[in-house]
Amino acid sequence: MAESKDFIDVSQLIANSSVEELNRLADEYFSQVQDWNFHLAKPLGAIDEAPQLLTNFAILLQGLSLCRGMTVLEFGAGTCWASRFLSQLGCQVIAMDVSATALRMGQELYERHPPFGTTPQPLFNLFDGRRMELADESVDRILGIHALHHVANCNEVLSEFARVLKNDGIAGFAEPGPEHSRSPQSQEEMRTFGVIENDIDTKQIWSDAAGCGFTEMKIAIFNIPPFLVSQSRFDSFQMGEEPVVNDFMSHTREFLRNQRTFFLYKGKQLSRDSRYFGDLSATIQIEETTIQAIEGKEIRLHAEVENNSSLIWLPRGSGVGAVHLGCHVLDSNGKVLHHSYHWEPLSPGDGVPVLPRQRVKLTVTLPPLPLGSYTLEFDMVSYDVAWFAQNGSRTIRVPLEVLPEPTTREH
């Protein structure tokens, strides 16, 4: 079908535009916004776009393999709603955009709705479209939601991603697909605002990314609109019967025709560690089957723990993810009196990592307890992540009797 006379060829628009001019137009777009509320409300600014934005974020969150304490660059952060979510998750966020006005909106968002609890303060970084003001290998992850298709010099930007990303880093992007520039909305945006609404060709992106030093790319297969079926069709799907499975695949293929969510990997992915909840598991042995202690005196016992997970346990000096042997105090009826009563480091000082299948012997010294009968419950804990029991790891209980200090007879 012939294109209309006012059809905009995005490749021509890119060829006729400088990076500096596109940066100016992007900031002009945000500067013309009189009421910031719609942008500050994202991803819930509009009902029709909320499922897309929330699902994109969720898939990127899983694919990026994030954990608390990581430094995450949000590229094309705009008004920073995703940055704020990442801050709430405990990441050190760098919100980057070519628009100073958009970043001011992001700062306003943080001021109006600061993350709950103690979280790292975000950094707001204005991008000149060419060179990022970040040190080499200084970020753990890069995230971009509907940002890369606005970039005219994609190869140059990919090179910057490779430079600032650590050697085991991941960059994840949620973007439209190879026909994006032809959609009515894209044509209107380019015609009205002069911005780039480029097509996303993952084959070309991978070719450029590989040349910049990335080692692998993976593309997500998913679907946002739910594939709704009857109970009988659902049962057929669970059984793997071809008609309904084929219908689902057709539904998914149609959705993915103009959607691309992909991840670029730099270097070898290192072994995961105890900052990740999913595989936290241990075997705990307490040498004493019962314990007697004296009122006012420290309580000593001997333990051996084995890392029977695939994760490296980080030592006490690591901050987030540092693994300790923890103890809860229960009364004689099993009711918790002191949750998280004591944490014992697994090695002296800042400690050393504990590898999978490694065993560690340690002497545990608990603070004194008042006279009475208790049960001590032992569990491993990863700092600011979780107690291992939350992941199904077995705890160990030992009865404790705290006795009065013996009196000395006078002669």
Residue where the block lists tokens 């793997």: 240
Among the listed residues 80, 85, 84, 75, the one whose alpha carbon sits nearest the alpha carbon of residue 36: 80
pLDDT average, residue stretch 234-257: 95
Domain 282-403 in the same topology as domain 10-265:
no
Is the pLDDT at 65 greater than 90? The verdict is yes
Homologous superfamily (CATH) of 10-265 is Vaccinia Virus protein VP39 (3.40.50.150)
Is the pLDDT at 252 greater than 90? The verdict is yes
Q: Contact at 8 Å (CB) between 368 and 297?
A: yes
Strands, E, within 236-358: which ranges? Answer: 259-265, 282-286, 291-294, 299-307, 323-331, 336-345
Pick the CATH number of 282-403 from 1.25.40.10, 3.40.50.1100, 1.10.3980.10, 2.60.40.10: 2.60.40.10
Residue type, 241: E
Cα gap 177→380, rounded to integer Å:
46
Is the pLDDT at 4 greater than 80? The verdict is no
Q: How many CA atoms lie within 13 A of 43 on its CB side?
A: 17
Q: Where are the domains of the chain?
A: 10-265, 282-403
Among the listed residues 216, 195, 187, 254, the one whose alpha carbon sits nearest the alpha carbon of residue 5: 187
Interacting residues of 346 by C-beta distance below 8 A, sequence separation 6+:
305, 313, 315, 316, 323, 324, 325, 354, 360, 362
Residue where the block lists tokens 């993976």: 218
The pLDDT tens digits of the residues spanning 275-307 come to 998 889 999 999 999 999 999 999 999 999 999
CA angle in degrees (0–180, nearest 5) for 322-325-326? 105
The pLDDT tens digits of the residues spanning 173-200 come to 999 999 999 999 999 999 998 899 999 9
Question: How many other C-beta atoms lie within 10 A of the C-beta of residue 121?
Answer: 10
* 4: its two tokens: 């209309």
* 29: its two tokens: 């777009």
* 346: its two tokens: 């697994």
The model carries a pTM of 0.87
The pLDDT tens digits of the residues spanning 302-356 come to 999 999 999 999 999 998 999 999 999 999 889 999 999 999 999 999 899 999 9
Mean pLDDT of the chain: 94
Angle between the N-to-C axes of helices 100-112 and 81-88, in degrees from 0 to 180, rounded to the nearest 10:
40
Cα gap 265→42, rounded to integer Å:
28
Is the pLDDT at 57 greater than 70? The verdict is yes
Question: How many other C-beta atoms lie within 10 A of the C-beta of residue 351?
Answer: 18
pLDDT average, residue stretch 20-34: 93
